[in-house]
Amino acid sequence: MTGGGAVAYGDVGIELGARVAAALRRGLGVEITPAEAVIRPSTRDGVDYQCNAAMSLAKKVGKPPREVARSIVDNLDSADLVATTEVAGPGFVNIRLSDAWLAGRAAALLGDDRLGVDPVPDPRRYALDYSSPNVAKEMHVGHLRSTIIGDALLRLLRFAGHEVTPHNHVGDWGTPFGMLIEHLLDEGWTPDGGHSISDLNGFYQAARAKFDADPVFADRSRKRVVALQGGDEATLALWRRLVEESSRHFQKVYGMLGIELTPEDMYGESFYNPYLDDTIADLEAKGLTRVSDGAVCVFPPGFSNREGEPLPLIVRKGDGGYGYATTDLATARYWTGERGMTDLLYVVGTPQAQHFAMVFAASRMAGYLTDDHTAEHIGFGSILGEDGKTIRTRAGGSVKLVELLEDAVDNAAKTVAERSSLDADAQAAVARAVGIGAVKYADLSNDREKDYVFTWSRMLAKEGNTSVYLQYANARCHSVLAKSGTTPAADTEVLLGSPAERALALALLRLPAAVEAAATAYAPHKLCGYLYELATTFTAFYDGCPILKPDVPAEVRASRLVLTALTSAVLTRGLELLGIEAPREL
């Protein structure tokens, strides 16, 4: 018996939970789900998993917790996978898996592309909003977290078995474009191209400066906004050039970061422009709007302003223009209505929490979100400098993403040059993998909702819980595998003769639980934590269990090579889910 139904591998905890649930049904006539069996990995010596269900069930069943635990143990039909059980403390059931089952389960992972992770039985259709840079502005550290976290979630959710459509809510519309286009014309641009902007920030700042200093220019700019929004073709042509120019910059950054977003994923503010009037008309038709201080508003219940009065979501401003609330409502309506998505995710900083709460509330009032939909603001904290304040350059400006990434790669290159014996090209590739990986891992390994302090020393750290540690462990795997001159065969028997081997097999089987935890909580750091544990477990194995030494028996050597190959496969897959490269050699 290896689990029930379609579940071929899955999570060991769920498997054990199912056995415990059966035992409770058999022994005490109690019905619980496998999850309610509260199976947790144990940190105690000689114990692999513990079941904590007995204590909470005691009252319901009317028996002392230890007696419930005793009943679980006595009725457990698990001779195939459990070696020993014991009732301990107030009513814990300590479980040690059988070596044979563990070995068999580990061996079965070889050649399994999904490494034991079953696709979710109930796939959802996600629309995932992330990155969201602004046209005509260089990407800065403020965009880093949304981009990295969003991309990791895209990979994680897809691997978990969901359908995910990313959409990049680029800031490509609004009043600033009047001045930007006028400035473009002053610079001699034509709609036909042949121009480029080497310094997007400089371009924006120059336009801004002229707007502030020159009333004539400011006036032209305002007229240009009207022309743009009125659909003037010549103006639109220039606007498109500006968007293209910026898009080139975004793609450069995405390329450096290894982000999967493409120009096809761009659903900028302008995209929703044609939907805005209709959305407002729809809200009005449903009687959800009220004019307040000249603005058309929706008042979702439960929100109040400084004076304790109802807080509006402004759908049409007093001057007739649209705010971001309008766009966000149209966005929700579009992705659920026209694209049939079931779950909307927005990877946007936590300061926007109230805004999204209001947009979701209004979307439910309008029926854009129903009981069949979920909408979630995937908030994240700010990146702080070492002074605990929002990170800035010494000059007080925002830190450019390109420069930050180049610094990270340069720094990695120095270390690579000191330690690597690879040729120059390969070293450059490794430096990119290590440098970019370090930036991403430093971000992803923290709980995304909290602010995190950015320090170069930690971001570029080569020790401890870092991406390099994982990459290094993986490279060691590949090194051994290459030296072995063989490829572990799928039917190789896995032998767990030492605690280190056993611990490694156990760790390898925990990928499904890690993926599930990370995907359901939209929390990549949970996967990071697991991968780091796996890597430390492997390193202990690597340290204590010779693989290729001459005195190692052939069957032990073959088994250890399987464990090594599996470790590499899990690390590589895990890093891929985080969007981090796993070079075969460092």
Partner RNA sequence: GCCCCUGUAGCUCAGCGGAUAGAGCAGGAGCCUUCUAAGCUCUUGGCCGCAGGUUCGAGUCCUGCCAGGGGCACCA
Q: Which residues, 400 to 429, sit near RNA by CB under 7 A? A: 412, 415-416, 419-420
Stretch that binds RNA, among 3-11, 87-95, 138-146, 204-212 (CB under 7 A): 87-95
Q: Which is nearer to RNA, 430 or 562 (CB)?
A: 430
Tokens at 87, concatenated: 């009732």
Q: Which residues on neighbouring strands pair with residue 140, listed in sequence order? A: 400
The rounded distance, in Å, linking the Cα atoms of 190 and 82 is: 74
Give Cα separations from 504 to 496, 511, 575 (angstroms): 9, 12, 18
Q: Which is nearer to RNA, 343 or 443 (CB)?
A: 443
Q: Which of 76, 81, 475, 566 binds RNA (CB under 7 A)?
A: 475
Contacts to RNA from residues 202-241, by CB under 7 A: none
Interface with RNA, residue 356, by CB under 7 A: no
Helix (H, G, I), strand (E, B) or coil at 127: strand
Q: Which of 546, 18, 581 is nearest to 258 (CA)?
A: 581
The rounded distance, in Å, linking the Cα atoms of 390 and 384 is: 4
Contacts to RNA from residues 276-335, by CB under 7 A: 292-295, 297, 304-306, 308-312, 314, 317-319, 321-324, 327
Q: Which of 25, 195, 392, 483 binds RNA (CB under 7 A)?
A: 483
Give Cα separations from 412 to 178, 432, 437, 571 (angstroms): 42, 7, 10, 20
Contacts to RNA from residues 57-76, by CB under 7 A: 58-59, 65
Within 8 A by CB and 6+ apart from 57, the residues are 24, 28, 30, 32, 65, 68
Q: Which of 17, 150, 166, 174 binds RNA (CB under 7 A)?
A: 174
Q: Which of 21, 22, 37, 55 binds RNA (CB under 7 A)?
A: 55
Where b means 16+ CB within 10 Å and e means fewer, 491-518 reads ebebbbeeebbbbbbbbbbbbbbbbbbb
Stretch that binds RNA, among 84-92, 116-124, 194-202, 333-341 (CB under 7 A): 84-92
Within 8 A by CB and 6+ apart from 289, the residues are 280, 283, 296, 297, 298, 315
CB of 578 to RNA, least distance (A): 15
Residue with tokens 């899955």: 10
Would you give the binding string for RNA spanning residues 258-277, x where CB under 7 A is met? -----------x--------
**Amino acid identity of 197?**
I
Stretch that binds RNA, among 1-9, 274-282, 485-493, 546-554 (CB under 7 A): 546-554
Would you give the binding string for RNA spanning residues 491-530, x where CB under 7 A is met? --------------------------------x-xx--x-
Q: Which of 480, 496, 562, 577 binds RNA (CB under 7 A)?
A: 480
Q: Which of 70, 426, 536, 556 binds RNA (CB under 7 A)?
A: 536
Contacts to RNA from residues 362-391, by CB under 7 A: 381-382, 388
CB of 432 to RNA, least distance (A): 12
CB of 354 to RNA, least distance (A): 4
Size of the site for RNA (CB under 7 A): 104
The rounded distance, in Å, linking the Cα atoms of 255 and 573 is: 20
CB of 188 to RNA, least distance (A): 28
Q: Which is nearer to RNA, 311 or 365 (CB)?
A: 311
Task: Provide DSSP, 177-229.
Answer: HHHHHHHHHHTT--TT-----S-HHHHHHHHHHHHHH-HHHHHHHHHHHHHHH
Q: Which of 471, 475, 581, 575 is nearest to 159 (CA)?
A: 575
